């Protein structure tokens, strides 16, 4: 869903941009791994940042994560219609809403059942990625040098425009989002066995695997697209059909559609845990906290799951570019604050607590803070204003409701090992 959008703006620079984003995510993954094993909470980023950098910083991270929670699933879900087109033509908004409803229903099941569902879908996704990679390399129209020959179809000489360094920096916000799922393990830390060991292992392994599964087909597509115009259009299904036949193109398209549904299920599961944890930590008025804390027979927080899925279905009818832009800014800002928390993670008693420890500390979080702040500064003003306005409203909520009730509200807790949700 995301990569074709990058092809349209970055052309042959897409693989390079994703590679740079993945490299930055290694540092981010180090931060998540250390903080996630030090503070194993379903609250994820906000629990980590609140503990290390204070309750206001944690609240702002929660708001940014809530934006990602609500926006990312429908952004991805709306892409389903494009990949179902070989079989049935659907309106993207209605198809996305349908995917969100299905993902919500799946999210109400127990975690082990969902592990089987998403695991089976994942196998098909990887097979499809492998097919695209093999076909792309087998029909290469240009050499490996094209990966650093940074150009995109446009109005310049010969119909080609150069991709500038600033365009790549701007595209990094979306490139960071491409592999964003590696952070999911910290949300499930209360439900994983031996979280202080397995969270770091899962975070780092997921990033490594996803970077390979994404980058290899992107490189193959870049080299195999019959023209720069075809690459910029980003119609992967059409390219696969041209390299093989309509049956293979349809198979790959359906596998991508399954991947989107899979991502929707995983994100609904992940995001409902964030809302559940916020209620447990008393972020809201008492009736809301009680509702969000309710667990169903499967052990899933069912009201929190519905509050993620149903509004997500409605967001499928909002302008996609706006959702993309706000998501990119939110993810970058969230990673920035997590890096700040990681820089503070070895103060006092935390420095001696049992946890996975990142190499090259404090250089990794310091470099991340500088780079992510610069990436934020290069985003479009419209998206910065939208995100900043939401953060401002959240800050007012903190100042007028949470802070005056500091003894009874926003009491961020970290369950003891074995006392999960």
Choosing among 3.30.70.80, 1.10.10.10, 1.20.1740.10, 3.40.190.10, the CATH entry for 3-405 is 1.20.1740.10
192: left (phi over 0), alpha (psi -120 to 50) or beta: beta
Tokens at residue 336, please? Answer: 């920035």
When pLDDT is averaged across residues 97-119 and rounded to a whole number, the result is 82
pLDDT in tens, 291-342: 998 887 777 788 988 988 899 899 889 887 888 788 889 988 998 999 999 9
- Count of CB atoms situated within 10 Å of the CB of 337: 23
Question: What pLDDT is recorded for position 194?
Answer: 75
Rounded Cα–Cα distance for residues 325 and 308 (Å): 20
Is the predicted pLDDT of residue 419 greater than 50, yes or no?
Answer: no
- pLDDT band at residue 421 using 50, 70 and 90 as cut-offs: very low
Closest alpha carbon to 169 in 16, 364, 324? 16
> Under a CB-based contact definition with an 8 Å cutoff, are residues 340 and 49 in contact?
yes
Across the range 3-20, mean pLDDT stands at 88
> What tens digit of pLDDT does each residue of 121-133 get?
888 888 989 999 9
Range 173-189 average pLDDT = 78
Name the residue among 168, 169, 161, 163 with its Cα closest to residue 150: 163
pLDDT above 90 coverage of the chain, percent = 33
Question: Is residue 416 scored above 80 in pLDDT?
Answer: no
- Give the model confidence (pLDDT) of 132-154 as tens digits: 999 999 999 888 888 888 888 87
DSSP assignments along 30-91, one per residue: HHHHHHHHHS--TTTHHHHHHHHH-HHHHHHHHHHHHHHHHHHHHHHHTTHHHHHTTT----
Helix (H) or strand (E) holding 5: helix 3-10
Does residue 417 surpass a pLDDT of 60? no
Tell me what the pLDDT averaged over the chain comes to.
Answer: 86
The model's pLDDT over 261-284, given as tens digits with 9 standing for 90+, comes to 888 888 888 788 888 888 988 999
- Per-domain residue ranges for the chain? 3-405
Whose structure tokens read 């093999």? 134
CA distance 256 to 151: 26
Residues in the chain: 421
Say what the pLDDT of residue 354 is. Answer: 77
% of residues, the chain, pLDDT over 70: 97
User: Which carries the bigger pLDDT value, residue 416 or residue 210?
Assistant: 210
């Amino acid at each position: 869903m995301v990569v074709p959008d990058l092809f349209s703006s970055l052309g042959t620079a897409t693989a390079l941009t994703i590679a740079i984003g993945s490299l930055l995510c290694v540092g981010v993954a180090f931060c998540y791994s250390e903080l996630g094993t030090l503070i194993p909470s379903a609250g994820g980023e906000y629990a980590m940042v609140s503990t290390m950098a204070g309750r206001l910083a944690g609240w702002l991270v929660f708001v940014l994560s809530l934006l990602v929670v609500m926006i990312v699933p429908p952004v991805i879900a709306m892409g389903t219609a494009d990949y179902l087109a070989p079989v049935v033509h659907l309106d993207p908004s209605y198809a996305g809403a349908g995917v969100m409803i299905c993902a919500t229903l799946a999210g109400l099941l127990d975690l082990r059942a969902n592990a089987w569902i998403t695991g089976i879908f994942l196998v098909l996704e990887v097979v499809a990625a492998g097919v695209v990679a093999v076909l792309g390399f087998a029909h290469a129209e240009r050499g490996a040098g094209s990966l650093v020959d940074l150009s995109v179809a446009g109005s310049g000489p010969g119909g080609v425009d150069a991709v500038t360094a600033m365009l790549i920096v701007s595209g990094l916000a979306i490139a960071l989002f491409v592999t964003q799922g590696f952070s999911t393990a910290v949300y499930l830390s209360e439900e994983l066995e031996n979280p202080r060991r397995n969270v770091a292992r899962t975070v780092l392994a997921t990033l490594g695997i996803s970077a390979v599964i994404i980058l290899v087909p992107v490189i193959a597509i870049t080299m195999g697209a019959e023209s720069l115009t075809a690459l910029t259009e980003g119609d992967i299904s059409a390219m696969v059909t041209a390299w093989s036949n309509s049956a293979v193109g349809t198979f790959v398209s359906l596998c991508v559609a399954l991947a989107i549904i899979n991502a929707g299920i995983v994100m609904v599961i992940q995001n409902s845990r964030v809302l559940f944890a916020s209620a447990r930590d008393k972020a809201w008025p008492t009736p809301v906290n009680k509702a969000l804390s309710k667990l169903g027979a499967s052990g899933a927080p069912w009201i929190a799951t519905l509050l993620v899925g149903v509004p997500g279905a409605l967001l499928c009818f909002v302008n996609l570019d706006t959702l993309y832009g706000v998501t990119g800014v939110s993810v970058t800002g969230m990673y920035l604050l997590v890096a700040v928390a990681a820089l503070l993670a070895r103060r006092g008693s935390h420095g001696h607590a049992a946890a996975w420890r990142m190499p090259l500390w404090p250089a990794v979080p310091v470099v991340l803070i500088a780079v992510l702040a610069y990436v934020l500064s290069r985003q479009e003003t419209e998206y910065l204003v939208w995100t900043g306005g939401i953060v401002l409203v959240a800050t007012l909520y903190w100042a007028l409701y949470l802070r005056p009730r500091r003894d009874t509200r926003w009491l961020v807790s970290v369950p003891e090992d074995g006392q999960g949700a």
